[in-house]
A = this chain, B = another copy of it.
Amino acid sequence: MSPHLPSAAAAELPERVLRFVRETVIPYEKDPRNHGHGPSEDLVHELRSHAREAGLMAPQLPAEFGGHGLTHLQTAAVFRAAGYSPLGPVALNIMAPDEGNMHLLERVATAAQKQRFLRPLASGDMRSAFLMTEPDDGAGSDPSMLRTEAVRDGSDWLISGRKWLITGAVGAGFGIVMARTEERATMFLVDMDSPGITIERILDTIDNSMPGGHAVIALDRVRVPADQILGEEGRGFDYAQVRLAPARLTHCMRWWGTARRAHDIATDYACRRQAFGKPLIDHEGVGFMLADNEIELKQAELMIDWCAAVLDTGAKGTHESSMAKVAVSEALYRIVDRCVQVLGGLGVTRDTVVEQAFREIRAFRIYDGPSEVHRWSLAKSIKRRMKEHRAS
C-alpha cells in the first residue's frame, strides 16, 4: 500500500489545516502565555491537544508515527497553511528544530532509538533540540570550526563544550549534539537532564515564536552511552546534510504562510483606511507594494514547490535548497517589510501579528545559514559545474 495519502485526502489537508489555524489557533495569538522567549509549555500543550483532536498532528510523518506520509510537495502546501499563524506550526508539532529532528531520526536512528526518542517527539509529548552552533569562535556557518569534543570513556562517551543559540533547549527532553570525535564529527542523542548539562542563559532575541527560545548551553563531561550515537560514528557532517536541505525548505514553507497572513492583513487595511481623500490601496505608493507582494508570494511558492519536487526524486537537493532558502527568505522579508510600511504606525505595534512576522522573518534570513553563505556555496557549485562542462 502506498505510504501516501490518497490524493484527494492530501489535497484537502491544506484547506483543513488553514481552517484549523484560522478558527482555533489565531485566537491564541493574543494569549498572555504567547510572550517572552516563546509560547509557554502550557500553551504549547493546549494548542496540541486541539491539533490532536483535529487529526492534524505532524501530518508529514509516516503512518506508524501518526502522520499521513506526505511527499515533500504535499508537505509544502500543508506547512504553508500551518504557517498562517506563527503558532500554527507549534500546534501541529511541525516547527523547528523538532520537525527537522524527526526527519533525521526517521532516516538514521535505530529501531530502539526511534522508540525512545522519535515516538514521544512525533506525538508532541516531548520537545527536542539540535546542538550544533557554538560561541567563542566555534562552529557557526562554517561547521568545520566545531569545538565541542566527545572522548571515549570505556564504552561511553564524555562530551564537553559550549553551544549557543540552541532553539528550544529549555524544556526539551533530549538534544542531538554534534561533537568532534577522533574521526571528524559525530551526532549523539543526549538526554537534556543529563548531569553536566547547564543552561547558562536564554538569549534575548529579535524573534519569539519558538517554545523555549534560544539558549546558551554548557556541556561538562556529559556521559552518553555508545548506543546513543545517532547513526555511525564520524558521519555527523553527512547527517547534518541529510537534515539540512529539507529543514531549510520547511522553514520556507512555514514562513511563507506567515508572510501571506501579513499580506492579507495589509491588504485589508489598505482597502479600508483612507488618507488624502481615498483608500490607501488607491495610492499607487501602496497599491504597488501590494502588487509586488502578490508577485513575490507566487514566486516564493513556486520556488518551494520546485525544490520539494526535487527532494521527492530522492536527490539531496543541497544546491536547490540553497537557492530556495535565499530566494524565499529574502522575498518573504521584503513582503513583510512592505506590510509594516503599508500599516504605517499600526505596523510597528503588536496590535497585528505583522510586527511579529517582520521580526521572525528577519531572523529567518540568518537561521539555517545567512543568505551570504548560501550564495558563497552556490558560486562554488557554479564553478564546479563549469569545470565539469569544460572537461566533457
Contact = CB atoms under 8 A, between A and B. Distances in A.
Interface residues of A, number: 73
Interface in A253-308: 267-268, 271, 273-276, 279, 281-288, 290-292, 294-295, 298-299, 302-303, 306
A290 B383 CA distance: 10
B288 A379 contact: yes
A294 B371 CA distance: 14
A238 interface: no
Please indicate which of the listed interface residues A370, A372, A376 has the most CB atoms of chain B within 10 Å of its own CB. Answer: A372
Interface string A129-150: 0000100010011100100000
Contacts of A242: none
Contact of A303 (B268, B299, B362, B370): B299
Interface stretch (A47-55, A58-66, A94-102, A200-208): A200-208
Interface in A345-380: 345, 347-351, 355, 358-359, 362-363, 365-367, 370-372, 374-376, 378-380
B351 A370 contact: no
B362 A287 contact: no
B355 A206 contact: yes
A366 B354 CA distance: 15
B327 A344 contact: no
Please indicate which of the listed interface residues A275, A283, A371 has the most CB atoms of chain B within 10 Å of its own CB. Answer: A275
Contacts of A287: 375-376, 378-380, 382-383
A291 B374 CA distance: 9
B140 A345 contact: yes
A355 B287 CA distance: 29
Contacts of A299: 299, 302-303, 327
Contact of A340 (B137, B281, B302, B362): B362
Given A295-B327, A303-B302, A370 B341 contact: yes
A285 B282 contact: no
Contact of A376 (B164, B205, B288, B383): B288
B348 A363 contact: yes
B341 A281 contact: no
Contacts of A207: 348
Interface in A25-68: none
A302 B305 CA distance: 10
Given A359-B206, A375-B292, A382-B267, A344 B283 contact: no
Closest 8 CB pairs of A and B: A287-B379, A204-B350, A291-B378, A284-B284, A302-B302, A285-B372, A291-B375, A284-B285
23 contacts: A133-B345, A137-B273, A140-B345, A142-B274, A165-B345, A204-B350, A205-B348, A206-B358, A214-B349, A283-B376, A285-B285, A285-B372, A285-B376, A287-B378, A288-B376, A288-B379, A291-B326, A291-B376, A292-B326, A298-B306, A298-B323, A299-B299, A345-B367
Given A140-B344, A291-B376, A294-B323, 18 more contacts: A205-B348, A205-B355, A207-B348, A267-B386, A281-B382, A281-B383, A284-B284, A284-B372, A284-B376, A286-B379, A287-B376, A287-B378, A288-B379, A291-B375, A294-B382, A302-B302, A302-B306, A359-B359
